[in-house]
Structure 1
Amino acid sequence: MTEDTPFFPGLACWIDVSSIDPARSRDFYAGLFGWTYDIDPDPGGGGYTTALCGGQPVAGLAGVPVEADQPVAWRLYLASANIIHTADVFTQWGGQVLYGPVAAPGQGSVLIGADPTGGVIGFWEPGPPWLFRTTDPGSLIWAELNTWDGEAADEFYANLFGYQQHQIGDGRYVDYTTWSRGGPTMLARLQMNEDWARDIPAHWMLHFAVDPQIGTDGAVNRVLDLGGRVEIYPYDTELGRIARVADPSGANFALIDPTVRVMPPPTSIAEEAGKELSG
């Protein structure tokens, strides 16, 4: 969300990532995307860090290491006009609240929960002004829920926010829907299939745009140089050239160059996204 982006519930309004080594995570993303940082000086804030790209906020980074029993992951937050109402509807349709709702002084209110398919999602009722840069290189451009029950996920999130959902696969071998509501499409849902390892839980995969002059392949090389790892090497889709990677703490995310697009064979999205994760 930027100054010229209208606010509406269901919009992707923030992302943040946990870490086992916050300083190393900051160095990693600075090297990969050129991020600079604004670290909260309030001791009560735990050193929560706002990442900036081009001087605008693009993400949050944990300021303290994650506890041993907690996962290291990127988290997506969807905008809420009323966090209490969102919590009520979330549980009414089968979601499980994991944290909140709770006020974040000066920033609004937050809620974290698990949808009925197991995907963990955040909700934020932002306090004005709220800035969140998206779609440009170094920022979020696409967020995709990978789940074993696509139909249930579609129904649940449509009940929450009234998303218009469009099947871009064949609905059988490739079950992939896009979700939109009054703005540019940034959300999607992929049903995992037999190409995926069965122990992979439902999860959101956040896609970050890369500089076309560097490209996805060049960005992957940077990931390796900076101590990250590659989960799936670059492949071409109608969305762009994509790779799935992980930072040094193990948080998974995707890189995409949206300027490189192809007309794929019908099974490309599901097969490429799952084949190496199951191997």
Structure 2
Amino acid sequence: MIIRPGHPCWVELATNDTERSTRFYETVFGWQHHWTRDDAGRDYAVALLDGEPVAGVRPLDRATLDWTPYLAVADLTAASARVRTLGGTVLEASPQTVPGLVAKVLVDDPGGATVGIAQPVDGGGFTAGVPGSLGWLEFVTRGPRQADPFYRALFGYRQQQVGDGKAVDHVVYSTGGDTVIGRVRMAPDTPATVPPRWIAHFTVPAGLDFSETLNRARTAGARLRFQPHPSPLGQVAVLADPLGTRFAIIDPDLATDWDTASPADDPYDD
């Protein structure tokens, strides 16, 4: 696998009910899950779509609010040291390796948003950008003045404001000619108890449109967190799975032009 620093190279769900979680995403996106073990002997499920890895699931003793994205680095040790230099925190004493896929570690940025950095190992691959897989990442923070310099220095992102910077502070992060992340500032009146978060957007599965995918997810137990809204990347709906973990579905066929007055500036204020 060619390492493209700053690009998503893995996405992971930590859950306290792996059976219920895997069954839900299998129903919605058509994934299959292959159980293996990481390098420490802990159970780990690899989600497969048409035989290709698209996500990971690991057991945890508590429910989690969001999926965790992992951004690619060329040298995990050097990148971890760089995180500390830039004011972030490395949350794990040593990387977790999923054999044949990635070595990865969780970090907090200076504003307290948790994200993963990872280095593909053994030619490991990750499929994204196809129907039923990760299509987009949205990063929601109350501290863009801390976040933007941190991610720019760590990954060399080009950052472009596409909102008006006031009513709608929405910046896209791009690298190597590819737009990879949308950073959204929380509304100023968002309660202090609301944490920063990453929202993984999964594209609608092949053969289904947006409404059909939304109906399938809700029938399987998902709860709508924010009304569907248009975006330049496609129609979006933010949901919570049956255990309360947030994710979004996106249909690129319904993309629109940028609208700096979009009500979707902060769909995560609870």
TM-score scaled to structure 1, two decimals?
Answer: 0.89
In the alignment of these two chains, the number of paired residues is 269
Identity %: 33
Out of 69, 85, 94, which is 1:76 matched to?
69
CA distance in 1, matches of 2:34, 2:177: 29
Residue 83 of structure 1 contacts residue 101 of structure 1 at CA under 8 Å; is this kept in 2?
Answer: no
| Ranges in structure 1 where 5+ consecutive residues have no aligned partner | none
Partner SS for 1:187: strand
Partner SS for 1:133: coil
Out of 257, 266, 269, which is 1:274 matched to?
266
CA distance in 1, matches of 2:39, 2:118: 22
Q: Residues 105 and 239 of structure 1: is their aligned pair in 2 closer, same or farther, counting only changes over 3 Å?
A: closer
Match of residue 92 from structure 1: 85
Please state how far the C-alpha of 1:84 moved relative to its aligned partner: 1.3
Partner SS for 1:7: coil
Match of residue 245 from structure 1: 239
| Ranges in structure 2 where 5+ consecutive residues have no aligned partner | none
Please state how far the C-alpha of 1:104 moved relative to its aligned partner: 1.9
Residue 230 of structure 1 contacts residue 246 of structure 1 at CA under 8 Å; is this kept in 2?
Answer: yes
Residue 96 of structure 2 contacts residue 105 of structure 2 at CA under 8 Å; is this kept in 1?
Answer: no
Partner deviation per Cα, 1:45-76 (whole Å, 9 max, x = no partner): 333100011211000012x3x224x6353101
1:57-136 alignment to 2 at 5 Å? 57-62=53-58, 64=59, 66-68=60-62, 71-102=64-95, 104=97, 106=99, 107-136=101-130
CA distance in 1, matches of 2:94, 2:38: 22
Partner SS for 1:18: strand
Partner SS for 1:84: helix
Out of 252, 256, 267, which is 1:258 matched to?
252
Partner deviation per Cα, 1:84-108 (whole Å, 9 max, x = no partner): 1111110111101111332526345
- Cα RMSD, aligned residues only: 2.2
CA distance in 1, matches of 2:239, 2:23: 16
Match of residue 13 from structure 2: 17
Partner SS for 1:121: strand
Out of 160, 165, 170, which is 2:164 matched to?
170
Please state how far the C-alpha of 1:208 moved relative to its aligned partner: 0.6
Please state how far the C-alpha of 1:267 moved relative to its aligned partner: 2.0
For 2:197, give the aligned amino acid: H
Residue 38 of structure 2 contacts residue 44 of structure 2 at CA under 8 Å; is this kept in 1?
Answer: no
* 1:208 maps to 2:220: no
